[in-house]
Amino acid sequence: MRIVHGLLAAALLAPALAVAPAWAQTRVGEVSTTFRMVGPNDKVVVERYDDPRVPNVSCYVSRADTGGLSGWVGLAEDPSRFSLACRATGPVALPTGVPQTESVFRQSSSPLFKALTVTRIVDMEKRVLVYLITSTKIIDGSPFNSVTAVPIDVPAGR
């Protein structure tokens, strides 16, 4: 009976926990990795995030997505396994006011306290934007990370 009450509570809480992000996200595709008898399969999901402050930079994140019954009702904690690749989709100019280091994307990977975060770091010496993805937790973060870089276009005549 406790399991039934727990599942009912989870089903009612799941929509409240799913908060829409403030930045643009597009699911590009997914590949099933583990068959589950009940609920959706485990999979690797590929999503595109456009940098909200730097035009013409798109980041592609591949991440594990836990299926099964707990994943279906929104109670699963996704593993900290991911990859990141950011690309220029046009000329990249650094707008004024962009800080040296800034968290640009954040996505929950469990119902409570765990998230994937993409941080932009400006390397002006090499004229590159560095993007770093990490997993964060309130108590214990993860050493898993991935990094990529996008060159800033040099204005003509320099």
Band the pLDDT of 119: cuts 50, 70, 90. very high
Region 108-127: what's the mean pLDDT? 80
Give yes or no for residue 110 having a pLDDT over 80: no
Give yes or no for residue 66 having a pLDDT over 90: no
For position 132, what pLDDT does the model report?
A: 95
Every domain of the chain and the residues it spans = 2-151
Nearest-CA neighbor of 116 among 131, 141, 133, 140? 133
Is the whole model's pTM more than 0.85, yes or no? no
| Lowest mean pLDDT segment, chosen from 20-24, 63-67, 79-83 | 20-24
Residue 133's Cβ-side half-sphere holds a number of Cα atoms within 13 Å equal to 22
Share of residues in the chain with pLDDT > 70 (%): 61
Query: Do the beta carbons of residue 77 and residue 71 sit within 8 Å?
Result: no
Q: 135: which 2 tokens?
A: 């997993």
Higher pLDDT, 45 or 22: 45
